[in-house]
Amino acid sequence: MRTESEFGRHTLGAASVAYDVPRSDASDIMVLNPWISPVQVLEWANRVGFFESMVHGPESSCDICEKTGLTERGFEALAGVTLALELIRRSGEGRYELTTLSREYLLPDSPFFVGFSLFRDVNRPIPDRLIRRGQSNCLNWLARASRRLTQRLALRRSMEFGSPERLREQNSRNLAATALAASHPEFDHPTRIVDVGGGSGTFAIPLATRRRDVHITLIELPDSIANTRSYLDTAGVGDRVDVIGMDVLDAAATIPECDCVFFGNFVHGFSEQECVDLFGKCRNALKASGSIWIHEHLWDENKEGPLLTALWHVVMMANSASGRQRSWRELVELMELAGFEVELPEYTACGFSLVRGRVPEP
């Protein structure tokens, strides 16, 4: 893990936009993001009776789903956050039980129940993927009635992949950590780097600003290209970063030949098989001794934290069919299936870690 003293402050190059490597870690700020509010997750848990389902002792995940109406993904979402907050614990037999904290403060029958204060005006609908059909209509009706349909549709359109609003939001939460990743000394050596799902250029721009001798190719969805180019041009590196519009999951899509492939906050959106296929495309594109780099929010090995990873796991459980946050060991399994030798993770900032996979020596 890098420390503040190791990073310090330095300006990456002399282009029109100078990037400072941040001195501090914003993880404690990022957990306050209202999009993934831990209080909202606890309100959902309260609404479906998640804590009450364990009031008589340890229960299996299947029993909890049966009692609450949660889907498997819904259980994963609530369990991840409540484990990270130490509100439940998991036994060696894979059963779940309340801690003293949740038993005293989050059971509605407790005289110390804090829900009437904590959950006041916290009433977003439970996402459909988290709760079984039929159950959601009743539980969500009052919450849905308080939200205007036109506002929701407008927000959805504004946050489509590649839209200016979504790129701005992604840039805001990813830039600090990805600029630190781009300052890693191992990126001093490759001459051809491909940035997959590069978005607003949070990796490509700091690297191109620091290294004028590197050839960078940024791959994004075709609808994103114009808005991505505006970030590159504003930073003064538009003439030194090639941009390709491509869906890398398409069977016919290929990664350009390179020394290094970087995935910044990207692979959590895909299933295990999709990741293996994508890593396989990278393996075919990489030269001898080339590397693949994954920059993600990682679970600890017990999947009981950190909280920021657990909260983004909720987003994946709710908004994708097969995406999820993964632990380092889970990434190792997928990268090894594609033929890489994987190194230990290295923490950057804001909850992110870098994981490197090397092409094995002949």
Residues 113 and 172 placed together within one structural domain of the fold: no
Q: What is the pLDDT of residues 202-256, one digit of tens each?
A: 999 999 999 999 999 999 999 999 999 999 999 999 999 999 999 999 999 999 9
Q: Quick check: helix, strand or coil at residue 257? A: coil
Q: Is the pLDDT of residue 102 over 70?
A: yes
Confidence class for position 22, pLDDT limits 50, 70, 90: confident
Residues 214 and 332 placed together within one structural domain of the fold: yes
Domain end call among 119, 154, 174:
119
Is 340 a member of any domain? yes
Sequence-separated contacts (24+) of 89-92 with Cβ below 8 Å: 90/302, 90/304, 91/58
Q: Which of 170-174, 228-232, 297-301 has the lowest mean pLDDT?
A: 170-174
CATH number for position 113: 1.10.10.10
**Per-residue confidence (pLDDT) for residue 155, from 0 to 100:** 40
Q: Specify the residue for token string 């050596």.
A: 189
Residues 112 and 169 placed together within one structural domain of the fold: no
Assess contact for 9 and 171: CB atoms under 8 A. no
**Per-residue confidence (pLDDT) for residue 115, from 0 to 100:** 96
Is 339 a member of any domain? yes
Confidence class for position 73, pLDDT limits 50, 70, 90: very high
Assess contact for 335 and 280: CB atoms under 8 A. no
Query: Mean of the pLDDT values across residues 142-147?
Result: 50
Is 285 a member of any domain? yes
Is 235 a member of any domain? yes
Number of H helices, E strands in the chain: 15, 11
Q: Which of 135-149, 157-171, 218-232, 298-312 has the lowest mean pLDDT?
A: 135-149
Range of the domain at 55: 35-119
Please state, rounded to an integer, the average pLDDT across all residues of the chain.
Answer: 88
Is 19 a member of any domain? no
DSSP string, 45-65: HHHHTTTGGGTTS-B-HHHHH
The one-letter amino acid at 339? G
DSSP string, 266-325: -GGGS-HHHHHHHHHHHHHHEEEEEEEEEEEEEE-TTS---HHHHHHHHHHHHH-SS---
Residues 170 and 316 placed together within one structural domain of the fold: yes
Is 4 a member of any domain? no
Indicate the burial class of 18 (C-beta count within 10 angstroms; 0-12, 13-18, 19 or more). Answer: middle
**Per-residue confidence (pLDDT) for residue 362, from 0 to 100:** 79
Residue scoring higher pLDDT (266 or 33): 266
Is 152 a member of any domain? no
CATH number for position 348: 3.40.50.150
DSSP secondary structure code for residue 159 in this structure: T
Residues 177 and 102 placed together within one structural domain of the fold: no
Residues 264 and 348 placed together within one structural domain of the fold: yes
Q: Specify the residue for token string 């009692």.
A: 67
**Per-residue confidence (pLDDT) for residue 135, from 0 to 100:** 58
Is 131 a member of any domain? no
Query: Mean of the pLDDT values across residues 186-201?
Result: 95
Q: Is the pLDDT of residue 350 over 70?
A: yes
**Per-residue confidence (pLDDT) for residue 79, from 0 to 100:** 98
Spatial separation of the C-alpha atoms in residues 333 and 328, rounded to whole Å: 9
Spatial separation of the C-alpha atoms in residues 256 and 244, rounded to whole Å: 10
Minimal CA–CA distance to 177: which of 311, 324, 25?
25
The one-letter amino acid at 80? G
Count how many domains the chain has: 2
Indicate the burial class of 175 (C-beta count within 10 angstroms; 0-12, 13-18, 19 or more). Answer: buried
Distance of CA 115 to the CA centre of its chain: 28
Confidence class for position 138, pLDDT limits 50, 70, 90: low
Confidence class for position 93, pLDDT limits 50, 70, 90: confident
The model carries a pTM of: 0.88
Q: Is the pLDDT of residue 25 over 70?
A: yes
Assess contact for 82 and 50: CB atoms under 8 A. yes
Minimal CA–CA distance to 127: which of 54, 29, 31, 43?
43
Integer CA distances (angstroms), 239 to 147, 212, 362, in order: 45, 11, 36
